């Protein structure tokens, strides 16, 4: 087995959007992300804490889809390691010299991983002005940084094994009574996750998580959308997660891409950090207050593109968490003896 690249963190996502102006309204005017670079076909955005060029790239395209996920690796040599690692897995691999791929990114490799997602590994990226204390520029949700990717995949155990082989730790899981794996949260940076898996037809992008510093910024985002009669962009929450303990709201952008505004999870950096396991029948797992999870949150997600920009075929999941008889999701039978 070849050596895995040293992944530092989930670094950016490239989304295809069908109306760049509408996407600009949502991601810049509403969420308050900062435009680092803009051209006729794409927007390169970042949060207030991000010193690298971008964490969200919106590229005009015919189909709303996930173009690729991107992880930053620790050294330029780790880009070579990533190329060898995925070649040894027999996966499609494409090396991109600086200037051949996403604007602002240097030497990179893009692969189609075993889950069917197009994933980029890079080290070199252009820098941006330090915005952390440019409070005069902080607007909307005051997005600080990209926190995580959440992907829909039919085989959660396979996803877990793949990311474990890339050196990711596992902070939390949702498991059945026989420990069948419904969902998992995995990390390289020392917080709850860089990537999480939601059981469902895939490969599809479930959402990207954008971190703010404070829960009042999550609430303020919801208030802004309500004030503007744009409340239909609010899909789920605000609320408190069971898994991760984060405070959250889920939004849908004009193309239906899901974005979570997320704050206040926890440290996972000790070498013996233990995985916290939730039972799928615990109705606090996804919302700690037991609020129902809206059906669309389980079922809807963005399709994923291959290395040539074609929509990847999807396969259905073996396990369907939304069908599990649980109380709070409103999908099941509450045992009167409880
Ligand atoms: O980031 C997350 C943290 C927790 C949850 S859950 O709804 O609490 O499972 C979902 C999530 O993956 O979006
Ligand atoms: Ca709504
Ligand atoms: Fe999330």
Give the distance from CA 230 to its chain's centroid: 23
Closest CA to 113 of 59, 64, 62, 168: 168
End-to-end CA distance of the chain: 49
Pocket of ligand 1 contains residue 241 by CB under 6 Å: yes
**How does pLDDT run across 27-63, given as a tens digit for each residue?**
999 999 999 999 999 999 999 999 999 999 999 999 9
pLDDT in the model for residue 142: 98
Determine if ligand 1 sits within 6 Å of the CB of residue 195: no
Ligand 1 atom nearest to 242, measured from its CA:
8
For ligand 1, atom 1, name the residue with the nearest CA. Answer: 209
324: confidence class by pLDDT, cuts 50, 70, 90: confident
- DSSP letter at 222 equals H
Ligand 1 within 6 A of CB of 258: no
User: Is residue 334 assigned to a domain?
Assistant: no
253 domain-assigned: yes
Instruction: Reduce the DSSP state of residue 132 to 3 states and report it.
Output: coil
Q: How many domains does the chain have?
A: 1
Residue 322 lies in a domain: no
- What local confidence, expressed as pLDDT, does residue 325 receive? 53
Measure Cα distances from 220 to 135, 217, 236, 242, 258 in Å: 16, 5, 15, 22, 18
Q: Are strands 247-252 and 204-211 parallel, antiparallel or unpaired?
A: unpaired
CA of 284 to the centre of ligand 2 (A): 21
The reply to whether 337 falls in a domain is: no
| 286 CB within 6 A, ligand 1 | yes
In a domain? residue 134: no
Does the pTM of the predicted model rise above 0.90? yes
Phi-psi region of 112 (alpha: psi -120 to 50; beta: other; left: phi over 0): beta
**Mean pLDDT score, 64-68:** 98
Residue 264 lies in a domain: yes
Looking from the CA of residue 198, the nearest atom of ligand 1 is 12
Confidence category of residue 337, pLDDT binned at 50, 70, 90: low
Output the CA 2–ligand 3 centroid distance in Å.
31
ipTM, 2 dp: 0.94
pLDDT at 179: 93
What residue numbers bound the domain in which 210 lies?
A: 7-127+139-303
Q: Is the predicted pLDDT of residue 334 greater than 80, yes or no?
A: no
CA of 243 to the centre of ligand 3 (A): 10
CATH of residue 195's domain is: 3.10.180.10
**Is 326 within the bounds of a domain?**
no
Q: What tens digit of pLDDT does each residue of 249-308 get? A: 999 999 999 999 999 999 999 999 999 999 999 999 999 999 999 999 999 999 999 999
In a domain, 191, yes or no: yes
């Amino acid at each position: 087995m070849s050596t895995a690249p040293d992944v530092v963190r989930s670094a950016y996502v490239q989304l295809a959007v069908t109306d760049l102006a509408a996407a600009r309204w949502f991601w810049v005017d509403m969420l308050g992300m900062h435009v680092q670079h803009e051209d006729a076909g794409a927007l390169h955005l970042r949060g207030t804490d991000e010193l690298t060029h971008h964490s969200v790239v919106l590229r005009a395209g015919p189909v709303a889809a996930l173009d690729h996920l991107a992880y930053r690796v620790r050294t330029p040599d780790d880009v070579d390691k990533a190329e060898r690692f995925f070649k040894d897995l027999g996966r499609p691999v494409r090396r991109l010299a600086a200037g051949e791929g996403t604007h602002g990114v240097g030497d990179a490799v893009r692969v189609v991983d075993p889950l069917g997602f197009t994933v980029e590994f890079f080290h070199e990226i252009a820098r941006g002005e330090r915005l952390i204390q440019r409070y005069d520029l902080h607007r909307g949700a005051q997005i600080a940084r990209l926190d995580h990717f959440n992907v829909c995949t039919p085989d959660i155990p396979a996803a877990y094994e793949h990311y474990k082989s890339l050196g990711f730790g596992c902070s939390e899981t949702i498991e059945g009574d026989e420990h069948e794996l419904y969902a998992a949260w995995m990390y390289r940076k020392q917080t709850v996750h860089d990537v999480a898996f939601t059981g469902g037809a895939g490969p599809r992008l479930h959402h990207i998580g954008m971190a703010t510093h404070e829960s009042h910024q999550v609430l303020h985002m919801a208030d802004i959308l309500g004030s503007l009669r744009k409340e239909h962009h609010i899909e789920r929450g605000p609320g408190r997660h069971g898994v991760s303990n984060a405070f959250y709201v889920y939004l849908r952008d004009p193309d239906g891409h899901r974005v979570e505004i997320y704050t206040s999870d926890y440290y996972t950096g000790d070498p013996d950090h233990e995985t916290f396991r939730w039972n799928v029948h615990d109705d606090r797992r996804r919302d700690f207050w037991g609020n129902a999870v809206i059906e669309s949150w389980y079922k809807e997600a963005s399709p994923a593109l291959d290395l040539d920009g074609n929509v990847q075929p999807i396969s259905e999941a073996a396990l369907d968490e939304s069908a599990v008889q649980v109380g709070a999701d409103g999908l099941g039978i509450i045992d009167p003896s409880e």
